[in-house]
Structure formats: structure tokens, C-alpha cells
A and B are shown apart, each in its own frame.
Chain A
Amino acid sequence: EAQVTQNPRYLITVTGKKLTVTCSQNMNHEYMSWYRQDPGLGLRQIYYSMNVEVTDKGDVPEGYKVSRKEKRNFPLILESPSPNQTSLYFCASSLYRAGANVLTFGAGSRLTVL
């Protein structure tokens, strides 16, 4: 089944404890992206990647890192999480079509930072 898989789905952690949210897709998509969803703000892009070894900042990249060493994986790294990073995170992927990507979203990862 074609899908985007995120892990963990739920995580409670403490301030400053490094964590990684993994994202993997099995559709051979070039384009991958991370979003965070907060009430009333919709989804905001954190980082995106147009292909292997090509990543760029979205609208809210502060406090996050990503890497794209393989086409299928796009992990999101929080080096020193803070409470304002408590949010629902979505990974998404698509074939790259200039201006016309149709994203497939993962199930989401709900992160709480105490």
C-alpha cells in the first residue's frame, strides 16, 4: 500500500532531550516536507526537500533540523525541544511537479514537550 509512515505517533518528552521523528514513504517520491499543525493556524511548513541531499527551510524552521540521505526517508530532528514545539506534526511527500505537487500526508505525530 502506498503510504507515508511516521514514528512515533505519540511522544511526551522533556525540555532539552533530543528527539527524532522519522518519516518514510514507499512511493519513490522526490519531494518531501514537514508541517506542524496548531489550532487556528492551520499547517505551517517547517522544512522541505526536493530530492536527496537537497533541503530548504519552510516558514517555521527554528529549532528543527532535517536530513535527506535517502530518497524514502526524511527525519525531523529536534536537537533541544522546548514547550513551544508541542504540536501535531505531519510529514508529506509527492512526485515533483513544478507548482503542482499533490501531497500525500502521513498519519501525524503528536508531540508534547514538558
Chain B
Amino acid sequence: AQSVSQHNHHVILSEAASLELGCNYSYGGTVNLFWYVQYPGQHLQLLLKYFSGDPLVKGIKGFEAEFIKSKFSFNLRKPSVQWSDTAEYFCATMIKAAGNKLTFGGGTRVLVKP
């Protein structure tokens, strides 16, 4: 069974600091990768996705992620965070063989101090 690991459960940083959230997955075949964000009290929103092509993916709100197949990783980055980036971030994978199920990591809570 596939699994997704997010190693940082909580991250606290100041505005303008750089952010990198780690994500590793276990599936050895073709996998589609996602990052979702959940702002306080809100539903999940798609930040970015990777299906194929350029392994450096740009998403909304200045976020980007890099797919490194050899490391089974899909880390999320933002060069300079804002207070409004305070949220919980979820990495997720989808494989065709699993009925298009999104398998989520445990999430990383990010608190940006003003």
C-alpha cells in the first residue's frame, strides 16, 4: 500500500522567511502528486500538482514544488512567507491502480508570525 510521509508536523517561522516542507511517498510506480492547503476553518484547496513534464512545478500564491523521482520526494517551497500563509499543508499522491484515491500525508501546521 502506498503511504505519504510529512516529516514536519509543526513549523513556526517569521514573515519573509523561506519555507520548505518535506514530503516523501512510498509507491514505486507512476504517481501523481499534489499539495493542498487548508486555511483555518476552511476546506482544502489545491496549491499545485504534478502529473508529468518539468519536475519543478509552480502553483498559486508563490508556492512551488520539486519532484525528485530518485528520492521519492515532492517538497514544497516558498521563498518568502507572509502571515496569510498560516495554514495546514497536506501532501498527497494518486495512483491509477488505487481507484484514483488520494492518499494524504499527516499534514504540517505552519504558523507565520507577523
Does B114 count as interface, using CB distance less than 8 angstroms?
A: no
Residues B43 and A100 in contact, CB atoms below 8 Å apart: no
Interface contact tally, CB-CB below 8 A: 67
A–B Cβ pairs within 8 angstroms, 27 of them: A35-B102, A35-B104, A40-B9, A40-B106, A42-B6, A42-B90, A42-B106, A42-B107, A43-B44, A43-B90, A45-B102, A45-B103, A48-B100, A58-B101, A59-B101, A98-B96, A98-B100, A99-B94, A99-B96, A99-B97, A101-B94, A101-B100, A102-B34, A102-B46, A103-B46, A105-B44, A107-B42
User: Contacts A42-B90, A105-B44 hold; do A99 and B101 have CB atoms under 8 A apart?
Assistant: no
Residues B102 and A103 in contact, CB atoms below 8 Å apart: yes
Does A81 count as interface, using CB distance less than 8 angstroms?
A: no
Residues A41 and B106 in contact, CB atoms below 8 Å apart: yes
A32-76 interface code vs B (CB 8 A; 1 in, 0 out): 010100001111110010100000101100000000000000000
Residues A100 and B32 in contact, CB atoms below 8 Å apart: yes
User: Contacts A56-B99, A99-B95 hold; do A90 and B44 have CB atoms under 8 A apart?
Assistant: yes
Which residues of chain B in 54-101 are interfacial with respect to chain A, using CB atoms and an 8 Å cutoff? 90, 92, 94-97, 99-101
Q: Which residues of B are interface residues toward A (Cβ below 8 A)?
A: 4, 6, 9, 30, 32, 34, 42-46, 49, 51, 90, 92, 94-97, 99-107
Chain B min CB distance to A37 (Å): 8
